[in-house]
Amino acid sequence: MALREINFDGIIGPSHNYAGLSFGNLASTKNAGQISQPRAAALQGLDKMRANLALGLAQGIFVPLSRPNRDWLSALGTTIEECEPVLAAAAMSASAMWAANAATVSPAPDTNDGKTHLTVANLRTMPHRSHEWPGTLAQLRIAFGDRKHFAVHDPVPPAFGDEGAANHMRLTSKHGEQGLELFVYGVTGGAFPARQHLQASKAIAQLHGLDPDRTLFVEQSEEAIAAGAFHNDVVAVANENVLFAHELAFADRNAVLAFCEKRLPGFELVEVPSADVPIGDAITSYLFNAQLVSPPDGEMTLVVPTEARETPTVWAWLEKHVASNGPIRRVEVVDVRQSMANGGGPACLRLRVVADPETVDPRFMVDDGKLDRLSEVVRRNWPVEIDTADLQKPALIKDVEAARKALLEGLDLTQLA
């Protein structure tokens, strides 16, 4: 079986809007009430996938969830037409586009049964995200339906908040070898909530059948959460044997390094000091919410948003340290401004799955031709703009539902309707 890293990006949905629902996410709060551009947002996301293909990477997709979520509103005893505006915004949220929160993934070499395990995230901390998991789980069960190679789990009970791969990292010498899995949880974040619960992380490690000696539970630093790092992937990212992190990412940095150095020959830390890049700059630029990938040419590449290039301290650090020394050899810049304005960078938009692409349902895999077709569906059907004041207007609701239907029909995934 030829294991490869596959990036599954969430297609940005036609209801993409700036309702400012995510407390602790500074960009989401800052841009609350602004006019969003769903069509431009989706096309930016598809162009990012196209850039990944150009690097020689395997690329997959997840589709937007049904919006408004009429079933969720019905369970609350209301409808999209009659509910309070805050419920309407939650029911229309397109935040499932951030596929890093879809699930936590443990590749086959790490698990005791030799299957790739995926546990869908419950996302219980935020009301607008807490109703995503049934729709996400339905996609996971189709995309990874080959039970010989995959095991897909229900969410951890909602008493324990779990926000998926955004708080999980894997280090390994090669994708086909057993790796180290690091689960990052929060305890406190000052004024902001800590979203990942330690017990949720422990439950997932048990469900996935991981080797306890190669599994570490890491506390995210309170300082990072308080500064706006609502998920670990805002301050740290790993790829193969490289951990790229801010100096203030973890509560006990030395314990993380000791664990990795002992168990992974060739482990490399690329650490950015606060003196060079203050944590505020790291968070607003999403330097670490980047895709750290290994293209076939062997040049480990950091895919950053345009905001990283526009932040002087960040770009100065990258120009000094990338390619000239160390394992990261190249930087690629992508425009995902519409996602960034809602608090999601390149890493938020993708879920990494190490698997043989041939074992994945082909409807969830893309090439340039399929991306061209998807782009045309978006151009024809996605709203150009959305004002949050219009989220309950019948015309917008009709357009959003029709757009998703057109996408599902184009992908032959109407069972998700």
> What span, in angstroms and rounded, lies between the C-alpha atoms of 179 and 210?
10
> What span, in angstroms and rounded, lies between the C-alpha atoms of 170 and 311?
28
Pair type for strands 4-10 and 350-355 = antiparallel
When pLDDT is averaged across residues 358-373 and rounded to a whole number, the result is: 98
- Just list the catalytic residues: 163, 231, 348
For the cut 80, the answer to whether the pLDDT of residue 414 exceeds it is: yes
Place of tokens 């893309």: 366
pLDDT value of residue 23: 62
pLDDT digits (tens, 9 = 90+) for 70-110: 999 999 999 999 999 999 999 999 999 999 999 999 999 99
Domain ranges, ordered by start, for the chain: 4-416
For the cut 70, the answer to whether the pLDDT of residue 117 exceeds it is: yes
Q: What is the largest CA-CA distance in the chain?
A: 60
When pLDDT is averaged across residues 211-231 and rounded to a whole number, the result is: 94
Helix (H) or strand (E) holding 353: strand 350-355
Residue 76 CA, chain-centre distance (Å), reads 28
> What span, in angstroms and rounded, lies between the C-alpha atoms of 139 and 108?
20
Helix (H, G, I), strand (E, B) or coil at 141: helix
pLDDT value of residue 33: 76
CATH of 4-416, one of 3.40.50.12160, 3.40.630.30, 3.75.10.20, 1.10.287.3510: 3.75.10.20
pLDDT value of residue 21: 79
For the cut 80, the answer to whether the pLDDT of residue 1 exceeds it is: no
pLDDT value of residue 342: 86
> What is the share, in percent, of the chain residues with pLDDT greater than 90?
89
Q: Are 227 and 279 in contact (CB under 8 A)?
A: yes
pLDDT digits (tens, 9 = 90+) for 11-52: 999 999 998 776 666 656 776 778 999 999 999 999 999 999
From the list 361, 101, 108, the residue with the least C-alpha distance to 232 is 101
> What span, in angstroms and rounded, lies between the C-alpha atoms of 55 and 297?
8
- Within the chain, how many helices (H) and strands (E) appear? 15, 15
pLDDT value of residue 26: 60
For the cut 80, the answer to whether the pLDDT of residue 325 exceeds it is: no
> What span, in angstroms and rounded, lies between the C-alpha atoms of 31 and 4?
37
> What span, in angstroms and rounded, lies between the C-alpha atoms of 367 and 99?
19
Rounded mean pLDDT of the chain?
95
pLDDT value of residue 24: 62
When pLDDT is averaged across residues 130-135 and rounded to a whole number, the result is: 98
For the cut 70, the answer to whether the pLDDT of residue 188 exceeds it is: yes
**E strands within 285-344?**
291-293, 301-305, 330-334
| Confidence category of residue 192, pLDDT binned at 50, 70, 90 | confident
| Confidence category of residue 179, pLDDT binned at 50, 70, 90 | very high
pLDDT value of residue 324: 72
pLDDT digits (tens, 9 = 90+) for 271-317: 999 999 999 999 999 999 999 999 999 999 999 999 999 999 999 99
When pLDDT is averaged across residues 402-407 and rounded to a whole number, the result is: 98
- Spell 179-194 as b/e; 16+ CB within 10 A means b: bbbbbbbbeebeebeb
pLDDT value of residue 343: 82
pLDDT value of residue 27: 58
For 36, phi then psi, to 5°, come to -95, 165
pLDDT digits (tens, 9 = 90+) for 332-347: 999 999 999 888 899 9
Would the pTM of this model clear 0.85, i.e. be above it?
Answer: yes
Cα radius of gyration (the chain)? 20
In the chain, the N- to C-terminal Cα span, in Å, equals 33
pLDDT digits (tens, 9 = 90+) for 138-162: 999 999 999 999 999 999 998 999 9
pLDDT value of residue 234: 95
**E strands within 1-149?**
4-10, 58-62, 103-106, 116-120
DSSP letter assigned to residue 111: B
